Each structure stands twice: as structure tokens, then as C-alpha cells.
Amino acid sequence: MKRKIVLKPGQPEKIQIQLSHYKQKYNWDCGISCVLMVLPTKDRLDFLNNFTQICKNEGFNKSTWTIDLCYLLKIYKVKHVFYTITLGVHEGYRGNSFYHHVLTKDENRVKTRFKEAKSVGISVKKSSKSVLDILAHLVNGPLIVLTNARILSCDICKFNKISSELRKCIPWPIPYQGHYIVVCGYDVHVRKVFYRNPSFGDLKFTSRINENVQNNGGTCSIVPEVCSGSIQAQCGVFYEVSSEITIDFKLMSSHSTETDEQFDSRFESFFNRKDIDGWEIRQGMNDLAGHDLVPEPKILIAALKACRRVNDFALAVRILEAVKDKCGSKVNEIYPYIIQELRPTLTELGISTPEELGFDKPELALQSVFDMH
């Protein structure tokens, strides 16, 4: 019989924090991708614009530890608390093939960052957290959690579910492979926790909740009733209440100090980057779509030229469709003006509008019988 999950007084029975998803680009940047998901839009774009330089300045060079993520959050003034079962490098990692090749070059740097954390204003606590602690924290904001990728699964898309079900019948040793995710919600009625996995596209994964988990060696866990489908967390970055991050996640109103000109310049510079790729173009447009505005033509020109640099005609057309949709009830007034301003660029790049391609009409549309003569 399932035991009822008892929440703290006043805690909602369901929470889903809205995040802008970011898919990792390499095999080493899952933690950085999680940081990008929790950053406000302005800071996310700044990070992406200066990605290579920031990674170089931070010194982790394609090998990030949770303490590195804390320093990244510190750069963008995101208040957080780092809970971990080990202050430094876990000795058990020495026998782990996944970590063996990085320990030699990373150990001194990681230990130094732990030692200096307090002096630079980073809160690190040696502690584990229960499932109920994690659910309670989600009232304030999301969590970045280090998990074992080999036992991470999803009840919706069935990711890793076959091996999870097999382990119920035939248990076998599970090797450890660290992977970061962002826990972003829960629903106690269906006993599920929601999380975002940077290994995949814009999907929200779920796993069952079981609050009767015995912590082993201080490891905080979010696990299902049986071992499969679990999120076993070695450590987590917990966010304190922050007006900026709460506004961004809960879509509350705020008074931005950024002028319209600065806003336009920031997005124009983002799309004008020479090293931008197709995913980043989509990410930038997704961020723009989250604002209550129609992008200025100069921003769209930069985005279309970025599509040309990555040779993605379809994406350019989708951008035009998205802009038309953003025009809302004023589409007949705003959209013709946008196309007028974009026309020289569309001609230069050889981009057709959705209307020119017939995308504004249903496929195989037939003339109405009432219009026939």
C-alpha cells in the first residue's frame, strides 16, 4: 500500500517551474547546460556569447565538477546553496573508470575551489537532503542535481525503462556515470517528479516519487517504489529565494532596467556571432518568443543571416512563421511592415516567405462550394 506523501504546511500539491530548455552540445557540458537553463534570459545570452572565454577563465577545460557550476552561478549573482556528501574529491572515484582520466588533472583545482568557496561568497554544506526536503525547496526554485545517468529513466517517453524493468527481475551491478539534470517540479497526486535532461531536446521527463528512501552514506535520492526510474543524487545545488530568479521561473512581472535599445542590441549581437549554430539560433528565437513583443526587423535580419551561415533554409522560414504568430490580432498591420523591412534581406539570401511557399493555406485546400460558379 502506498504511503501518503506529507508536504509541509502551505506547500502546494503540484508545482511545474517553466524553464527554457538547453540541450548540451558536447559530451562534457551537461552541468553547464543545466546552469544555462536556470539563468535569466539576459544572463543566458551573455554566457553563450562568451562561452569559450568563460570556460577558459574558469579553468575547467571540458571537465566540470559541481563546485565549478557554483562559481558560474556566482558570476551571474544567482544565490544558491551547494549540498554535498563530500567536501572535495570523493575517494571512491579513484576506482571509477568514468572519473579516472580526469582526476589527475582536476583534483588540485577542485580542492582549491572548495577551499576558497566561502571567501568568495559561495555556500557549501556537507549534508544530504531527503525527498521531502527536495520537494519543499521547489517552492522557491529549481535544483541542479548530479545523478547516475545509467539509472535515470522517464515514465512518459520510456527512456531507459526496459533496463529498469529488467533490473526488477534480474538485479545486476550498475556502474556510475555522473550526469546533471534540473529538477523542476512534482505532482504528489500521481507521485511524480519532473526534471529536464540536457542530453535530450525540449522534453520534460518524469520519475516516480518515493519518500521512504534510506540515504546511503549521505546520498540524497529521489527514487521510485522499486529501484528503476530513479534519480539518485550525489549532490545538488539548491537555490535560495531570489527575486530575479523567481520572476524568471514563475513568470511574475518585473521592472527591467534594460532599455529597448539595449534589448535589441543584445539579441542582434547574439545572432551576429560568427560561431553560432542551429541550436543556438533556435534557443535565441525561443527566448524572444517568451517576451510580449514582436522582434524588431534588425533582430530578424541578424537571425535570418545566421540561418544562412548554418545553411538552414527551413529554420529561416520557421522564424518568419513565428514572427507572424507573434503579431496576434494586429497581424494585418504589423506583419506586412515586417516583410517590407525584411524584403531586401530575403531577396539577398534567397528566402521565401511562408505565404510564397503556400504554408498559409491548408494542404490540399479545396475551393468552397459556395464560391463555385
Q: Residue 218: pLDDT above 80?
A: no
* pLDDT of 346: 95
The residue ranking higher by pLDDT, 32 or 85, is 32
Whether the Cβ atoms of residue 86 and residue 143 lie closer than 8 Å to each other? no
What percentage of residues in the chain have a pLDDT greater than 70? Answer: 68
Q: What is the pLDDT of residues 238-257, one digit of tens each?
A: 443 232 322 222 333 334 56
Q: Given the C-alpha cell 577545460, which residue does it identify? A: 61
Predicted confidence at residue 47, as pLDDT, reads 93
Please tell me the CATH superfamily of domain 260-349, with its number: Cytochrome c oxidase, subunit Va/VI (1.25.40.40)
What mean pLDDT is predicted for residues 204-227?
38
pLDDT at residue 299 is higher than 90:
yes
- 229, pLDDT greater than 50: no
Highest mean pLDDT range out of 41-50, 136-145, 181-190?
Answer: 41-50
Confidence of residue 83 (pLDDT cuts 50, 70, 90): confident
Residue by residue, DSSP assigns 129-189 as --HHHHHHHTTT--EEEEEETTT---TTT-TTHHHHHHHHHS-------EEEEEEEEEETT
- Do the beta carbons of residue 267 and residue 284 sit within 8 Å? yes
Domain boundaries defined on the chain: 14-249, 260-349
Tens-place pLDDT, residues 153-164: 665 555 555 555
Q: How is domain 14-249 classified at the CATH fold level? A: Cathepsin B; Chain A (3.90.70)
Please count the CA atoms within 13 angstroms of the CA of 258 that sit on its side-chain side.
13
Q: What mean pLDDT is reported for the chain? A: 75
With cell 556528501, the residue in question is: 85
pTM higher than 0.85:
no
